[in-house]
Amino acid sequence: MLILIIFLILAIIYKKEIKTIISFLFLGIVVMLLWDDLIIIALILSLVGFTAFLTLAIVALIKKDKTAKYKFLVSTLCLLIVAIGIMNDDSKSQPVEQTSRSTIESH
């Protein structure tokens, strides 16, 4: 529900047209339904972005290009997104303790 409110506020700030508000609300519903998949996709894209921008930054540093600092910054931001995503992983792989009950009761 919070995601829908955020998308509604963004729609009102962006444009106050009804078509834009409906589009943002629809996008909010899609994000809300696919939230876990979007986090995984964002993590994968951030990891790919980190390796790509780190490679580009090293090449720019060797060529003494002035964009190396920017590329290192982008690769650091991508790595930060990956680290935050991994730390916030609330996977259900934690073991659940089950108490076993005997079906035979002694009197």
Tens digit of each residue's pLDDT (9 = 90 or more) over 22-39: 666 677 777 777 766 777
Higher pLDDT, 92 or 82: 82
Domain count, the chain: 2
Supply the pLDDT for residue 33.
Answer: 73
How far is residue 80's CA from residue 27's CA, in Å, rounded to a whole number? 26
On whether residue 66 sits in a domain, the answer given is yes
On whether residue 61 sits in a domain, the answer given is yes
Q: How many residues does the chain have?
A: 107
Q: What is the mean pLDDT of residues 7-27?
A: 68
Of 24, 27, 31, 29, nearest in space to 9 by CA? 24
43 and 81 belong to one structural domain: yes
Average pLDDT, the chain: 74
Q: How far is CA 106 from the centre of its chain?
A: 54
Higher pLDDT, 91 or 69: 69
